[in-house]
Amino acid sequence: MKKKFSGTEIVGKLRQADVLIGRGKNVPDVCREIGVSQQTYYRWRNKYGGMSPDMIKQLRELQKENVRLRKVVADQAIDMAILKEVAQGN
């Protein structure tokens, strides 16, 4: 069963994992306890390791803004291509 976790949930699970590892548990046991595979744990660790929930929110906002700006640039490129075609016809 595949679950989708939010960024803040992931950060919480990683903190929980850090506490358990600090108590001497090994990674496979910790992964079972937090309910994710080892591959997911290491992927999360690479992507979200050391982030706070505020940083996750800021990352999401920046990603949304990036998508919006890419759309603006794509629209401008289309407009420029149309203008070039019209200019060549004259």
CA distances (Å), 4 to each of 7, 24, 79, in order? 10, 28, 38
pLDDT digits 0-9 by tens, 19-76: 999 999 999 999 999 999 999 999 999 988 778 878 888 888 999 999 999 999 999 9
Residue in the block written with tokens 């060549």: 88
Is residue 81 predicted with pLDDT exceeding 90?
yes
Pair of tokens at residue 38: 């080892």
pLDDT score for 49? 79
Residues 6 or more apart whose Cβ sits within 8 Å of residue 87: none
pLDDT score for 70? 97
Residue in the block written with tokens 């600090």: 22
Pair of tokens at residue 46: 């690479």
* pTM of this structure: 0.62
